[in-house]
Structure 1
Amino acid sequence: MDFSRLRLLLELSRLGSMQEVAVELRTSTSTVSQGIAALARDVGTPLIEPDGRRVRLTPAGHRLAEHAVTIIAAVDAARGDLDPSTEPVGAVRVAGFATAIRRSLVPVIDDLATRHPGVQVRVHEYEPAEALDLLARDDVDLALVYDYTLAPASWRSEHDVRPLWEDEWGLGVRVTERRTALADFSGDDWIVNSRHTADEEVLRTLASMAGFTPNVVHRIDALELVDDLVVAGLGVALLPLARHTHPGVRVLPLDPSPLLRGHAVTRLGRDSWPPLRAVLDRLRPAAVAG
């Protein structure tokens, strides 16, 4: 069903004359007549009938004109929502890992609410693989994810990726530890992320370069809990160098030093939606990892 033909029918129901519709829409009477005839063929029923020298809508025509009011209003509203020049309105669904939400998203929400009160941000905490899966299913509009220089992500052709920031990572050990080289910890138990494999890939790459295979014993998501295990002597782990760790933990620099890279990912072409654009334009890195 052609949208422009629906508008012709709606105007005819309002003005009562094809000539007046033609004047209103700056077209010809024959164009109006042909458009409504084509619409009747689309729906399979007559929409107008003769009324002296004029025409009037049939019952089916009146009913379709009533639907046209709702349809045209919805289309006009959708066009307004998608027009980059209009004030953005809508809910932006964001899935991301905790550090990126804390560093890049939370600091801009107040400014966003002040400048664009019609934009709502809905936050969901997920690891990268989970967030990208939600993005692929259109269950979220924006994914905040990470990868490492030693374990780069494999982006899809549909991904539009924007870099946010980088963090240098090192080796988290007890503060009393005297060993400093990665190879010195070849016999220790290791702690890796329970929800994302990239952390373990980085560890195994570094360990291979140092000539050993790490004994991965613990899989933990929360960095605070990783700190607790390190302090308790239950293992060592890769941790951000700039992060404020537990007083009983220190982070040793590594060579090569793995970099964690934060990214904002949308589906290709979706950033023209004004509410999402408003969020993307404000995302920024913070100075220190959390």
Structure 2
Amino acid sequence: METRRLELLAELSRLGSMRAVADVLGTTTSTVSQQIAALSRETGSVLVEPDGRRVRLTPAGRRLAEHAVTILAAVEAARLDLGPEAEPNGTIRIAGFATAIRGFLLPVIMDLAASHPRVHILIREHEPAEALALLTGDQADLALTYDYNLAPATVDPSLKATPLWTAKWGLGVPALTTASAAPTGTAQAVFAGFREHDWIVNSRNTADEHVIRTLASMAGFSPRITHQADSLDLVQDMIAAGLGVGLLPIDHATYPAVRILPLTSPGVELRSYSVARQGRLNWPPLALVTCLLTDRAGRMTPGDDGLPSTGA
């Protein structure tokens, strides 16, 4: 079986339509159809069947697509394994959120300049969904992403996520809020105390909104979400101006006009990851940078140097 045909089948399984596969891989729908048909003949199995104006994978097609992910990862690993002892060198394209770039990646880049000057990093600032899209589209080699314990992200089987650091989050409210209006205790109790307030969420990611809606539901109300902002500093400005309340990291340096209430039972925890395509972590430069990021995350506590201050 040709790996190119297996790649097309794997992408069809992921994207759901031949047109989408053609667009992503820069070919034509006709070519995708012909290659899938050839793969069917090679395997002696019907891999796709009509589904209205589109097609869908048969059980055999889905099974082969699962094998394809493993096979393609193995082929990629074999290719990268040709020079595993070589001195790391090359350009790594990294897409990630601002906190991880500023607090973790930039220090790693400065270390690399002295220890491995032949390794170069290209940075693109993106929220997780955007970074993962670049990664799966082969427009990035590494993605720095995050999710929350109450809004776990779905991991694509073609990707490998390496945990980095975690950070506890609380509810940011105006500092002048009276003690009676700022209950303590469980997250549900804290949220219930602000059921009549407006709520502020991220403008480029829905994970924190999912957390807010989950905890509000547990507290017996539907939050009135009115404002969106990507910068956590701007979220604080909005809270200080009395425009609403929103999630903020516990270790975040707060403005005098803002206080952060702890959330427990359940708590809210942001979890960060470095993500690469399966099989590519054997590439020496990428393995090196991933290792350095993991080491740095293990040696520091988010908030030690003012993190995070923009974008979650």
- Pairwise same-fold verdict (TM > 0.5): yes
Aligned to 1:5: none
Shift of 1:118: 0.3
Which residue matches 2:143? 143
1:246 counterpart SS class: coil
1:65-214 equivalences in 2 (<5 Å): 83-178=83-178, 179-180=181-182, 181-214=190-223
Question: What is the DSSP-based 3-state SS (H/G/I as helix, E as strand, rest coil) of the residue aligned with 2:253?
Answer: coil
**What secondary structure sits across from 1:138 in the alignment?**
coil
Q: How does 1:12-31 map to 2 (within 5 A)?
A: none
- Does 2:275 align with 1:275? no
Asked which structure has the greater CA Rg, the reply is 1
Retained in 1: the 8 A contact 2:81–2:282?
no
Q: Per-residue deviation at 1:260? A: 0.4
Question: Is contact 1:96–1:127 with CA below 8 Å preserved after alignment?
Answer: yes
Q: Distance in 2 between matches of 1:247 and 1:162?
A: 36
User: Are 1:245 and 2:254 an aligned pair?
Assistant: yes
Q: CA deviation at 1:129?
A: 0.2
Structure 1: runs of 5+ lacking an equivalent: 1-78
Per mean C-alpha deviation after superposition, the further-off stretch among 208-217 and 242-251 is: 242-251
Unaligned runs of 5+ in 2: 1-78, 183-189
Distance in 2 (alpha carbons) for counterparts of 1:254 and 1:204: 14
The whole-number CA distance in structure 2 between the counterparts of 1:230 and 1:218 is 10
Report how far residue 248 of structure 1 moved: 1.3
| Aligned residue identity for 1:200 | E
> What's the offset of the Cα at 1:103?
2.1
Separation in 1 of the partners of 2:82 and 2:242? 55
1:185 match: secondary structure: coil
Instruction: Work out whether residues 81 and 89 of structure 1, in 8 Å CA contact, stay in contact via their aligned partners in 2.
Output: no
Which residue identity lines up with residue 113 of structure 2 in the other structure?
A
Q: 2 CA distance for matches of 1:220 and 1:203?
A: 15
Output the amino acid matched with 1:125: E
Distance 2:236 2:243 in 1: 10
Deviation per residue, 1:55-98 (Å, 9 max, x gap): xxxxxxxxxxxxxxxxxxxxxxxx89951211111110100000
- Supply the AA of the counterpart residue of 2:280: R
Structure 2 Cα separation of the partners of residues 247 and 131 of structure 1: 34
TM-score, normalization by structure 2: 0.66
User: Deviation at 1:205?
Assistant: 0.3
Give the secondary structure class of the aligned counterpart of 2:133: helix
Partner deviation per Cα, 1:120-150 (whole Å, 9 max, x = no partner): 0111100000000000011000000000000
Distance 1:126 1:82 in 2: 32
Cα distance change of structure 1 residues 123 and 211 upon mapping to structure 2, 3 Å threshold: same
Amino acid at match of 2:88: P
User: For residues 82 and 96 of structure 2, what CA distance do their matches in structure 1 show?
Assistant: 25
Q: CA offsets, 1:151-206, max 9 Å, x none?
A: 00000101111000111010001111122222010010000001001110000001
Q: Secondary structure at the match of 2:263?
A: coil
TM-score normalised to structure 1 length: 0.71
CA 1:82/1:112 → structure 2, altered by over 3 Å: closer, same or farther? farther
Matched residue of 2:93: which SS?
A: strand
Aligned length: 212
User: How many Å separate the matches in 2 of 1:84 and 1:111?
Assistant: 22
How much does 1:274 deviate?
Answer: 1.1
The answer to whether structure 1 residue 232 and structure 2 residue 251 are counterparts is no
How far apart are the structure 2 equivalents of 1:154 and 1:213? Answer: 25
Q: Structure 1 residue runs of 4+, over 6 Å off?
A: none
Moved more, 214-223 or 249-258: 249-258
Q: Which amino acid aligns with 1:85?
A: E
